[in-house]
Structure 1
């Protein structure tokens, strides 16, 4: 059911009808037919339209921010930050599309007589999550539309209003109506799309379970997939000139989007010399918060995306504590009809406990104590995930040395993880397949065609 439910109040605000099978078939046919025209437009023409999309996002920032604050509970200031990044992504691909799609000479004995061309492949399906409703779509849509692919976009069932608003932005910018089509599809209809030869691939951001299911269908039908799944990123603190400031940085980064980010630093791995002070500081910070309407300025703690998400988060924490972990702060629902949970600090989390291997998608901080670099690396890598990581030290070479040993798709040295248009985003292990953002994103659903001239 595509439905807007305000997670701050539990109120059902609006419902949207799920697409019929006939509507899905028509959307797929339109997307496929539009590709024949869209691909023939010059890269510069498509790029100009992406610039226009960015412009409209900036013009409608206030309206669009309130939509997602209602849909998934994002603090209004964070919603506006997401929109600024979203607009920058469209601008980035508009500014770089021609360079990214330029023919690449092949080095070898045939120098100058062989090139690799980068060409679009057709209609691509995007399956997007609720945690960053605009930004996640931009990561997928901007490079593919600029390349010349057409897009079918299935958003999360809890984000139908923002999904409709995005489709309208593309149309208002002058992008052909059939180049970007929003579909309120069911899981069964997604399978039908992937089984159809007119579809050329799928990009999914979401849970491991969803990624595994979609990849199985895509693989069976020989379709390319890009999967951006979960994460349990390490935040490694080897030493620090100011422990209080480091704890503040860790807390602020972890609590962004109420902890609902795949690349949020969920595991603080701290050297034993700093551990006690770090834990004391971050625990105190977790006890100071103001839950409330995410659109109001005084609110510092937003709800989770839904009551079900909040209850699952609390179950994870409580089971981990029952298995022997130490709960220093939070760990429970906040009274009321909404999806608010207390910011949580856990220590003594050991292998075999639920939170050790699972992703905690909420405002929970796990702090681990280590005695040296080797122990820090071993703990950082002891996870089924491999999305991002951050390593901090007053000795940049030490931080770099540890970072080089972490099994992750992204490593940040002496800075927190950040998502920027030019930085490739993606992971290894169970965190997914493929890359979004940066120059690599345009090569995922791309025919890298060899042309050899005799």
Structure 2
């Protein structure tokens, strides 16, 4: 039987090893999920919510353990790792808070002699495929509402973060969730693709790369099932002439470098009005130089390693290519002694003199690098922001709310921020456009993608 190995980016050691599920184990999990879902969907919503809240509490109680495991599995600095546990609690709690309202029958105007309404029914068995970069946050977006809506869930996590799937299931099991309703499977890519084709699977929630999303669509083709795809991003920020400069610098740089830049909604390109450009660059460079690149288990580290050495070398190649094309690097990599080619440790970099002929401004980097480009006005900034195959989030920094709103209405993105970035508000729909995917999680709209409408049309007077 094949095995998965989680190699820690901290020191290259083997951190977790697990057997991949066999064909018999996959078939058994599917059968259990189908059977359990039939009873789970008939469980009162209040009871499902109560179990969900107990699971949230059980998960939160493990914060220290979960943070340490995250640190070792994917390289998040230990000083920040617990934040993901708290984010999980925030999102899961909100989806529980709104479940009764979001899943309530939809009333239509009264008509004499008839009873008419629309009910939201669970889809059946949902397959959630989660990535390593925010393994709990990306998973909970779909898992919690899917369960509360009456679906059974199979969770497949990245081979880099296998413990995350196990810990989530453990929390729900401790909360009293019936056996079979929520299970995890450690799978190969080939087995994952086959699982999508299984008749029992009625929904797929995938977070990952654009090629991974294309795989999901190919595997599900002709099955007429729903799929939610959160894919890549090359998210822009625009700093207008009237922005609060210090706030814009602090917020965009944090948005670009948090989690070593390994965030689908992180800031990957910044456009600054020419009147603020020089001051912005000066302050941004000073801020980036304050980062401490180091082992994730060191509490002084503010910039950890990337998940793998080849991911870091990919970003290095983007930077080298941009420099060859005329960009200017403002950070001396030698000042970050750990950052060496062939290792996951990568010095942060801030580039100017960039343009959209460079890969670093158009291709997802997923690392600690950001390009800053000077713009003349709103129209030039808007054209550059929209000049991308991606459209997950975008950020505008301005004191003029009305003008920012008018600009935001023209930005091609699933979420547009004003004076902030890189945050998911669970009350708002999390979605993307273009190659950033389709579908939606979170908010009341997220429940619509995990249920199907069923109309009831009763004639009561004969």
State the TM-score, normalizing by the size of structure 1: 0.96
* 1:166 aligned to which of 168, 187, 203: 168
Partner residue, 1:373 = 378
Equivalent in 49, 59, 62 of residue 60 of structure 1: 62
Alpha-carbon separation, structure 2, partners of 1:406 and 1:109: 42
Matched, 1:426 2:426: no
CA distance in 1, matches of 2:258, 2:162: 23
Alpha-carbon offset, residue 52 of structure 1? 0.6
Corresponding residue number in structure 1 for 2:309: 307
8 Å CA contact 2:294–2:303 kept in 1: the answer is yes
Q: Secondary structure at the match of 2:28?
A: helix
The structure 1 residue matched to 2:186, chosen from 176, 184, 187, is: 184
SS at match of 1:226: strand
Which of 344, 358, 363 in structure 2 is aligned with 1:358?
363
Match among 76, 97, 122 for residue 95 of structure 1: 97
Partner Cα distance (2:257, 2:454) in 1: 44
Quote how far apart the aligned CAs of 1:289 are: 2.1
Note the C-alpha offset of 1:280. 1.6
Q: Distance in 2 between matches of 1:367 and 1:128?
A: 31
C-alpha distance in 1 between matches for 2:153 and 2:243: 49
Match of 1:410 in 2: 415
For residues 151-194 of structure 1, the C-alpha deviation after alignment (integer angstroms, 9 at most, x for no partner) is 01110011112221222111111112311110001121122212
Maintained 8 Å contact 1:3/1:159: no
1:49 to 43, 48, 51: 51
CA distance in 2, matches of 1:139, 1:399: 28
Matched, 1:21 2:23: yes
Q: Which runs of 5+ in 2 are unaligned?
A: none
Question: Within 2, Cα distance between the matches of 1:374 and 1:111?
Answer: 57
CA contact (8 A) 1:3 1:160 kept: no
What's the TM-score, normalizing by structure 2?
0.94
Q: Which runs of 4+ in 1 moved over 6 A?
A: 108-112
For the residue of structure 1 that corresponds to 2:42, the secondary structure is: coil
**CA RMSD across the alignment:** 1.9
- The 1:440/1:331 distance shift into structure 2, 3 A limit, reads farther
- 1:76 pairs with 75, 78, 89, which one? 78
| SS at structure 2 position matched to 1:178 | coil
8 A contact 2:251–2:420 mirrored in 1? no
Q: How big is the shift at 1:73?
A: 0.6
What residue is the counterpart of 1:343 in the other structure?
348
CA distance in 1, matches of 2:50, 2:136: 20
The match for 1:399 is 404
Note the C-alpha offset of 1:297: 1.9
- Counterpart position of 2:339: 334
Contact 2:333/2:339, CA 8 A, preserved across alignment: no
1:292 positional shift: 1.9
Partner of 2:457: 452
Equivalent residue, structure 2, for 1:120? 122
Contact 1:106 1:112 in 2 (8 A): no
- In structure 1, list runs of 5 or more residues that go unmatched: none
How many residues end up aligned between the 2 structures? 454
Would you say the 8 A contact 1:396–1:414 is kept in 2?
no
> Is 2:237–2:394's contact at 8 Å kept on the other side of the alignment?
yes
Q: Which residue of 1 aligns with 2:259?
A: 257
Contact kept, 8 Å, 2:162 with 2:186, in 1: the verdict is: yes
Query: Is the alpha carbon distance of 1:245 and 1:100 closer, same or farther for their aligned partners in structure 2, counting shifts above 3 Å?
Result: closer
Find 1:388's aligned residue among 367, 387, 393: 393
Label 1:380 to 1:58 Cα distance change in 2 as closer, same or farther (>3 A): same
Return the offset for 1:107.
Answer: 4.5
Deviates further, 306-315 or 139-148: 306-315
1:276 aligns with 2:278: yes
For 2:112 and 2:270, the matched residues in 1 are separated by 52
CA contact (8 A) 1:286 1:330 kept: no
| Shift, 1:330, TM fit | 5.3
